[in-house]
Amino acid sequence: MNQAAPAPKENMGNPVPRIDARLKVTGQAGYSADLPTANMAYGALATSSIAKGSITAVRLERARKVPGVLDIVSVGDMDGIDKPKFGNTGASSIAPLHDKAIFHDGQIIALVVAETFEAAEEAAALIRADYAEETPSAGFDSRGTEMEPAAGKSPLFKEDVKAGDFDAAYAAAAVKIDEKYSTPTQHHNPIELFSTTAVWQGDQLTVYEPSQNVTGWKAELARQLKIDPANVRIVSPYVGGAFGSKGPMTARTAIVAVAARRVGRPVRCVVSRIQAYGTQTYRAETRHRIRIGANQDGRITAFAHEGWEVTSRPDPYVVGGTSATGRMYDYGSVLTHVSLVHADRNTPGYMRSPPETPYVYALENAMDEMAVALGMDPVEFRRVNEPQKEPIGGKPFSSRSLVKCYDQAAEAFGWSKREAAVGSMRDGDWLVGMGCATAIYPTAAAPCAARVRLTTDGEVRVQCGSHEIGTGVRTVAAQMAAERLGIEMDKVSVEMGDSALPPAPVSGGSISTASVCSAVLKACDAVRAKLFAAAVAEAGPLAGSGNAKLEMSQEKIVADNGKSAKLSDVFKTMQIGAIEEYAEFAPKGSSPEALKKLYAGQSEFHGGDQDKDSMKYAFGAEFVEVRINSHTREIRVPRIVGAFAAGRIMNTRTARSQLMGGMIWGIGQALHEATEIDKRHARYVNRDLQDYLVPVNADVKQLEVILVPEIDHEVNPAGVKGLGELGNVGTAAAVASAVYHATGKRIRDLPIRIDHLIV
């Protein structure tokens, strides 16, 4: 590869193809449920048919008679095992099989283990339970829900933010809006199904399961099973879609491990797509009320954002995006408040760009409404309210290139050709609308370790317990090592997705590139230091060059005095065949316990709005054209242009892919995605990819990504802002604004569908 041979020095930033692309497209990449294990038994879940109440009896007789059934683990069989916990590592405190309480439809009531997958499925389908059933609350507007403020209730929610006197400023504002917005229930539908494979060898447990957090899961699973974490290994070499769904561990993992111990064989449980809707996390529905007040000149003086989110009965899951929306513009005064609504549902969880996506959708839709109310161009309206400092704590932004993003995206999109009047643009039968919105995502990093080995033949092996969830982190880690060690990419291999490797943080919150690359960089620098010392030593090939500046390039150590030495010659003088170095990276501001926590599977994030010195965020601007058929009201999105500034871009190809994928998901949020709920039973209805709509290629026409150059030395040593979640923040609001521009109909409840536009 690299036949035009760019010097390895220039590796970072190149559009290097994924190092695992060939393995993936030829089916050789081993996903967790593909990995062969001898003597495997197969598991299948039976789930609750009610949403609230308790189990009085589980009837297993018919299931036990199915030929090939080895065992059934059911209610009461988790004795001696600790219950799951809700938090960043555990998905929910709901403890199926531990006790008889039913908290939601689709809760696990048994796991059948059989000789074959088919036998297990057949038997699981024959399991019935008797219940003492109560009337469930399905969600917002259902009777029996309980509402409480998020602040102080959830470990995941920081605080309601405030500045100035909102009430007074809003009352005095010349122009104001007060509107409500909502986003629907949305479910993760990764193409790789959820699965757990548990293998015991003596007291050693290995679990193969797609995961974004192998180190965290190792600790959590050991806690539940009450065994030494040193005896637990989580393996997740490739992940076929995660987006938060494989971040926290669910109750199933320990159940499968218990079953495998009981039958004395490895057990593999692949969860059906239908069952995943009730046994995994998802994005629960949200509601918003936004009030904005401004002067006639368009300067905002008052901003209030109230949010409501549905969660399960016992767990306070909350995304609470008001930390970002409350700091987005120069508001003058700010008031925010987030509430939880407990219903009889499974516990929600992170889903791509979790705090920002629903909240920024509401904010940016409201910003467009406000621009209309003021008679201002929506881009100009945002420019006028661009802050010098964030309005809550008065901190500066480490960098903020939002205006540049708007300028470049507007130019590429041809925003100047937009006719402002609603309904004024038309192409034959098609009403044309154009809209825009801001994208924002916090930039953070967490402690991470890595091991790098370089051999005399110039082979590099990078080991890091991070996760290739499709972002390309394996590739950028390889690029980092190739650049620092002066080795071509095809000689670098990267091992990830195994808790036996040096620990890495959860692959969530867009932190992986910054965290992993910083650790790999440090390990490479330790390798370099050893080589350089040997090279300039008395017996070394660069003896006498002690004062020269040294670099590594093309398997050589190159001094700025013109001398150079082959890598193999330096190794020869050291009389070794390889150097292996281990490094730990902790971001600036890390607590003294941060590294200890890393090994215990807890990720300490730094950045975003949490740092004392500055606000660390990546920004973008998205412009969307919609076309709406004047007869049928069919909605099409022929064009999206997004410009994004996210610090140093490690690989323009994988970065572009992330941003494109984000914007495409944004089309889905705007027009397609929604989990429908049967309110009487608190049951999800459209639990498959036939009825749960997502955008396909035909829904996406032109998609342009502009990477706006940005240098930010404050965010982390690598200068990287994460961008895995940035692209799908803002898209839905831009679509909603474009629909308004085309039709004059302001749709505040997602998804926007034909029926919204017919009446």
Note whether 337 binds ligand MOS by CB under 6 A. Answer: no
Q: Pick from 243, 359, 406, 665: which binds ligand MOS (CB under 6 A)?
A: 243
Q: Give me the least distance between CB of 211 and ligand MOS, in Å please.
A: 11
Q: Give me the least distance between CB of 269 and ligand MOS, in Å please.
A: 23
User: Taking CA 377 as the corner, what is the angle to CA 371 and CA 382, rounded to the nearest 5 degrees?
Assistant: 70
Q: Give me the least distance between CB of 351 and ligand MOS, in Å please.
A: 5
Q: Give me the least distance between CB of 247 and ligand MOS, in Å please.
A: 5
Q: Give me the least distance between CB of 655 and ligand MOS, in Å please.
A: 16
Binders of ligand MOS among residues 81 to 110 (CB under 6 A) are none
Q: Which residues of 650-684 are buried (b: 16+ CB within 10 A; e: fewer)?
A: bbeebbbbbbbbbbbbbbbbbbbbbbebeeebbbb
Q: Pick from 240, 247, 391, 662: which binds ligand MOS (CB under 6 A)?
A: 247
Note whether 352 binds ligand MOS by CB under 6 A. Answer: yes
Tally of CB atoms within 10 A around 550: 22
Note whether 467 binds ligand MOS by CB under 6 A. Answer: no
Q: Give me the least distance between CB of 511 and ligand MOS, in Å please.
A: 8
What are the distances in angstroms from CA 230 to CA 261, 594, 740, 757? 17, 20, 57, 58
Binders of ligand MOS among residues 400 to 419 (CB under 6 A) are none
Note whether 516 binds ligand MOS by CB under 6 A. Answer: no
For residue 410, which phi and psi values (nearest 5 degrees)?
A: -60, -40
For residue 343, what are its two tokens? 């219903």
Q: Where are the beta strands (DSSP E) in 10-127?
A: 41-47, 53-59, 69-74, 101-102, 108-114
For residue 350, what are its two tokens? 């992170």
For residue 24, which phi and psi values (nearest 5 degrees)?
A: -70, -45
Q: Give me the least distance between CB of 614 and ligand MOS, in Å please.
A: 22
Q: Which residues of 360-392 are buried (b: 16+ CB within 10 A; e: fewer)?
A: bbbbbbbbbbbbbebebbbbebbebbebeebbb
Task: Identify which of 758, 734, 742 has the alpha carbon closest to the alpha carbon of residue 750.
Answer: 734
Note whether 318 binds ligand MOS by CB under 6 A. Answer: no
Per the listing, tokens 């193409």 go with: 191
The stretch among 135-143, 164-172, 348-356, 640-648 that binds ligand MOS (CB under 6 A) is: 348-356
- Are 353 and 728 a contacting pair, CB within 8 Å? yes
The stretch among 219-227, 236-244, 369-377, 410-418 that binds ligand MOS (CB under 6 A) is: 236-244
Note whether 509 binds ligand MOS by CB under 6 A. Answer: yes
Instruction: Determine the size of the site formed for ligand MOS (CB under 6 A).
Output: 11
Note whether 641 binds ligand MOS by CB under 6 A. Answer: no
The stretch among 74-82, 242-250, 667-675, 687-695 that binds ligand MOS (CB under 6 A) is: 242-250
Binders of ligand MOS among residues 31 to 60 (CB under 6 A) are none
Which is nearer to ligand MOS, 247 or 435 (by Cβ)?
247
* Residues labelled catalytic: 725
Q: Pick from 90, 184, 442, 508: which binds ligand MOS (CB under 6 A)?
A: 508
List, as one string, the DSSP characters of 426-467. EETTEEEEEEEEEEEEE-EE--EEEEEEEETT--EEEE-B--
What are the distances in angstroms from CA 340 to CA 94, 105, 156, 291? 17, 20, 12, 20
The stretch among 139-147, 344-352, 601-609, 714-722 that binds ligand MOS (CB under 6 A) is: 344-352
Which is nearer to ligand MOS, 532 or 665 (by Cβ)?
665
Counting every residue written for the chain, the total comes to 759
Per the listing, tokens 């049928």 go with: 632
Tally of CB atoms within 10 A around 560: 11
Note whether 397 binds ligand MOS by CB under 6 A. Answer: no
Note whether 351 binds ligand MOS by CB under 6 A. Answer: yes
Note whether 244 binds ligand MOS by CB under 6 A. Answer: yes
Task: Identify which of 706, 563, 567, 541 has the alpha carbon closest to the alpha carbon of residue 623.
Answer: 706
The binding track of 203-222 with respect to ligand MOS, each residue x by CB under 6 A or -, is ---------x----------
The binding track of 544-583 with respect to ligand MOS, each residue x by CB under 6 A or -, is ----------------------------------------
Name the region of 662 (left: φ>0; alpha: ψ -120 to 50; beta: rest): alpha
Q: Which residue type, as a one-letter code, is found at position 757?
A: L
The stretch among 179-187, 350-358, 682-690, 740-748 that binds ligand MOS (CB under 6 A) is: 350-358
Spatial distance between the Cα atoms of 472 and 512, rounded to a whole number of angstroms: 10
Which residues, listed in sequence order, are joined to residue 330 by a DSSP beta bridge? Answer: none
The stretch among 311-319, 346-354, 585-593, 706-714 that binds ligand MOS (CB under 6 A) is: 346-354
Q: Pick from 190, 354, 668, 695: which binds ligand MOS (CB under 6 A)?
A: 354
Q: Give me the least distance between CB of 494 and ligand MOS, in Å please.
A: 20
Q: Which residue type, as a one-letter code, is found at position 258?
A: V
Which is nearer to ligand MOS, 43 or 472 (by Cβ)?
472
Per the listing, tokens 């291999």 go with: 493
Note whether 350 binds ligand MOS by CB under 6 A. Answer: yes
Q: Give me the least distance between CB of 571 and ligand MOS, in Å please.
A: 41
Q: Give me the least distance between CB of 499 and ligand MOS, in Å please.
A: 18
For residue 565, what are the contacts with CB-CB under 8 A and spacing of at least 6?
A: 535, 540, 541, 542, 556, 557
The stretch among 148-156, 189-197, 349-357, 415-423 that binds ligand MOS (CB under 6 A) is: 349-357
For residue 244, what are its two tokens? 């938060």
Which is nearer to ligand MOS, 196 or 357 (by Cβ)?
357
Interface with ligand MOS by CB under 6 A: which residues?
212, 242-244, 247, 350-352, 354, 508-509
